[in-house]
Structure 1
Amino acid sequence: MSDPVSEAGTIPVNDSTPILAYGPLVLDVPGRPVPLAMKVSAPATGTGLPIILLSHGHGMTTFLSSLRGYGPLADFFAAHGFVVVQPTHLDSTALGLRESDHPEAPTFWKSRPAEISFIIDHLDDIEAAVPGLAGRLDTTRVAAVGHSLGGHTVALLRGMQTRDPADGSTVRVPDERIKAAVIIATPGEADEQTNQDMLNNYPVNKYNDFSTMGMDALVVAGDKDLNPMFSDRLSYRWDAYTRAPGPKTLLMVHGAEHIFGGISGYDASETTDEDPERVSTLRALIWAYLRSQLYPDDPAWNRALAAMGDFGTVEAK
């Protein structure tokens, strides 16, 4: 008989509670081709709850890259005290806009951070719309977590600079209302080892510039996350740490590929390195980092590092 999957690996976390999930919650965004739909997951009890805005990746599956994905992360964060808001960005396959003539297709990279900031603008509306959530949010403690293209979204919100391929204008859209951020396996900076076909298909990646990303962040990378369709350089996926100024923290996960064992969905077929225990440990480490960033007196991050074992390595600058 096999052992059950753990909730948090070896990482100490607080007790889990039942959660409530509500969605789709829909907001009209001026100029957006479709309304902004999102899922809100929250602990069933408690007040003064901090918030995580969870930005999905650009994966090819239909629903993982939408409000319906990333259940292993969203459910865990909600069970351990966060309210998690998951928008469906315009690049979601479920919306059918990737092949449209919209000027931002297929990635809608510029709309994504604007949508996150729009959600922050309307947290009071979201709180009022979700049954049982009124009066329970702490809107001063907002975090953002993004994976892959979602990591690019969060990097922009932390001050990364890029250029709009459509007109050559500089784009820098930091949002200082976000008090903590986690950037997971985001695209790096272009160089001679970057795949030219990828840059032709996703031209914004020609101009990613982390030198302007001065806000703090946890950068999560896998030491097996090498995809020649993006770059022949393994370190491409942690440029958000090495090419950005401090303060930054790098969590290098041993043996992890791009989906880190399955963070994008339960039993997701896109996972090339399926490992439920890796998911359990990673989500607990992210939780601990966010707790200590949002509550500086909380020792969760130091306790997590002490319990991490050989899961990975951490460095900071």
Structure 2
Amino acid sequence: MPTPAHHQTIAIKPIIVPTDGRDLELQVKVTAPVLGADLPVIVFSHGNAWSMDGYEPLVDRWTAAGFVVVQPTHLDSRRFGIGFDDPRFGTIWRVRIADLHGVLDHLGHVMEQAGLTDRVDQSRVALVGHSWGAQTVGALLGARVLDDTGNPREDFFRDGIKAGVLIAATGTGDSLTPFAVEHLSFMRPDYSTMSAPALVIAGEKDQSKMSTRGPDWFLDAYHLSPAPKQLMAVPNGEHTLGGVAGEAVAETTDADPARVALVADAVSAYLFEALDVSTNAWSTFRVATETEGRASLRRKD
């Protein structure tokens, strides 16, 4: 049976985003519903080694709900082959942040290239990221990266972003493994300045190989940041939360389509309310989710 038209989506790629000082061109993919107007926008930052072609289970569900999703390919993507020994790797965390700023700076150009100018509400834009992408998004929401002496690096805060979602976000850097200390020095976020509204999503069984702490490491973005914040802890969820990056991909250790749907729907509901698309989408989702026992939810206002 054909998919109903209001659930059909279109994808346009690659769209080139103008950049300065980037060795490789910044490409994005735009996915949108076939129908609808005044559509809100999600700019999504992928996890380590992925690209604009990943995370289809999330993107398909968001676009079916009525979002336009823009996915940049960051320099750590597997397709570029920039490993730990490449001198460029140490600055990729900054380039990732610049990528998001670049997409936001040129969002009108991106929408024009995708043929969506008249269907998108560019005043309703949110940022979402998974894993390294979540830390990248956090920087635009006000989080800083600490240097080796504990002092904050540059401020990358982006004014005008109404809300963001951090999925499996890096915890603080005081419990990194020796490998992470040597190769991933940027994994030292300071969430005390992340003032923008955000939803933090974490798996209750997410044990990172980069941290000596347990799954509570992924709750730092919620506990250590100022209000307003929301938290959804997913029972039995591991780092890919059921397979958010794709079906049956190698990184998925807890395959569960229902868990992926839960994460996707939580993001949609939270952002619909945060972007003033709906007055009670998140409130309704919270009540239903808690009643059914599908996740643990907390808030600080």
Name the TM-score, length of structure 1 as normaliser: 0.87
Write the deviation string for residues 217-237 of structure 1: whole angstroms up to 9, x where unpaired. 000011100124323232111
Q: SS at 2:28's partner residue?
A: strand
What is the CA-CA distance between 1:134 and the residue it aligns to?
2.8
Q: SS at 2:179's partner residue?
A: helix
What is the CA-CA distance between 1:135 and the residue it aligns to?
1.1
In structure 2, stretches of 5+ residues that fail to align are none
Structure-2 residue corresponding to 1:6: none
1:174 matches 2:150:
no
Structure-2 residue corresponding to 1:4: none
Write the deviation string for residues 194-229 of structure 1: whole angstroms up to 9, x where unpaired. 312212110112x32111111110000111001243
CA distance in 2, matches of 1:181, 1:134: 23
In structure 1, stretches of 5+ residues that fail to align are 1-14, 60-64
What is the CA-CA distance between 1:177 and the residue it aligns to?
2.3
Structure-2 residue corresponding to 1:113: 97
Name the TM-score, length of structure 2 as normaliser: 0.92
What is the CA-CA distance between 1:16 and the residue it aligns to?
5.0
Write the deviation string for residues 233-273 of structure 1: whole angstroms up to 9, x where unpaired. 32111100111111111111011000000001122221000
Q: Is the 8 A contact 1:190 1:208 kept in 2?
A: yes
Match among 184, 203, 211 for residue 230 of structure 1: 211
Greater helix proportion: 2
Q: SS at 1:78's partner residue?
A: helix
What is the CA-CA distance between 1:278 and the residue it aligns to?
0.7
1:299 matches 2:280:
yes
Q: Percent identity?
A: 37
CA distance in 2, matches of 1:126, 1:185: 28
User: Which segments of structure 1 move beyond 2 Å, counting only runs of 4 or more?
Assistant: 97-103, 227-234
Structure-1 residue corresponding to 2:171: 188
Q: SS at 1:156's partner residue?
A: helix
CA distance in 1, matches of 2:153, 2:266: 34
Alignment of 1:193-272 (within 5 A): 193-205=175-187, 207-272=188-253
Which structure carries more relative contact order (alpha carbon 8 Å, separation 6+)? 1
Root-mean-square deviation (CA), in Å?
1.9
Structure-2 residue corresponding to 1:150: 133
Structure-2 residue corresponding to 1:279: 260
What is the CA-CA distance between 1:35 and the residue it aligns to?
0.5
What is the CA-CA distance between 1:99 and the residue it aligns to?
4.7
Match among 42, 47, 50 for residue 32 of structure 2: 42
CA distance in 2, matches of 1:183, 1:56: 11
How many residue pairs were aligned?
Answer: 293
**Structure 2 letter corresponding to 1:176:** D
